[in-house]
Amino acid sequence: MTNSKIVNIVVSSKFDLKIPIDKLARMIKYSIYEPEIFPGLHYRLQNNQGTIMLFASGKIVSTGAKSVISAKNAINGASFEINEKLSLNLKLGKIKIENIVSTMTFQNKIDLKKLSKELINSRYNYDEFPCVFYPFEGKTTLLIFHSGKIVSVGAKNEKDSKNSLKFIENFLRNLLNL
């Protein structure tokens, strides 16, 4: 498949107890907590492996990682740090993949009007958004741009993300007789 790559993975989990966010915000360097704007505390990880968002309910989210392992490590690392800072023994639930975003660039420009007519169940309205939306097998949504840029969103695993990009690449090759 042509130069595809994962650009963002979002994972989440939940602690077994509520979190004193305002107290924690004072303890984690460079964290941001502005409850009048956003109800969670967020901070960039030091190793540049993404961003952690933490909510008083105990929900924790990692975004910005480029691999599932990095995303899970971010949650586990943040869990360790939170327990250490608060001197607690919070238990973390199962880590769940919420979204995998992958991109690729097709080698040619794409006629979006033609593609939307040929690709059953696709949606295209240039005035609304300049791409074709295509739901792939109920597992991902593809955003296909005239430039050849293709984005796969909504996957819950790497295989579904790769399969959706492989499908559209093959479809476009056949459509353009390449």
Task: Dump the DSSP string for 137-169.
Answer: TTTEEEEEETTSEEEEEEESSHHHHHHHHHHHH
The rounded distance, in Å, linking the Cα atoms of 119 and 138 is 15
User: Residue 38: what residue type?
Assistant: F
Is the Cβ–Cβ distance between 92 and 76 less than 8 Å? yes
pLDDT reading at 47 higher than 80: no
Tens-digit pLDDT profile for residues 80-131: 999 999 999 999 999 999 999 999 999 899 999 999 999 999 999 989 999 9
| pLDDT at position 46 | 75
Assigned fold of 106-175: TATA-Binding Protein (3.30.310)
Strand-strand pairing, 140-145 and 96-105: unpaired
User: Residue 36: what residue type?
Assistant: E
Give residue 175's Cα distance to chain centre: 29
Domains 11-97 and 106-175 fall in the same CATH topology:
yes
pLDDT reading at 155 higher than 70: yes
pLDDT reading at 1 higher than 60: no
Q: Could you tell me which CATH class the domain 11-97 is placed in?
A: alpha beta
CA distances from 58 to 16, 44, 83, 134 (A): 7, 18, 12, 35
CB under 8 Å to 133, separation ≥6 — which residues? Answer: 122, 123, 124, 141, 142, 143, 144
User: Residue 130: what residue type?
Assistant: P
Domains of the chain, residue spans: 11-97, 106-175
Average pLDDT of the residues in 7-26: 95
The token pair at 155 is 């996957």
Average pLDDT of the residues in 168-174: 94
Residue with tokens 């979204």: 99
The rounded distance, in Å, linking the Cα atoms of 10 and 88 is 25
The token pair at 142 is 């593809």
DSSP-based three-state secondary structure for 65:
strand
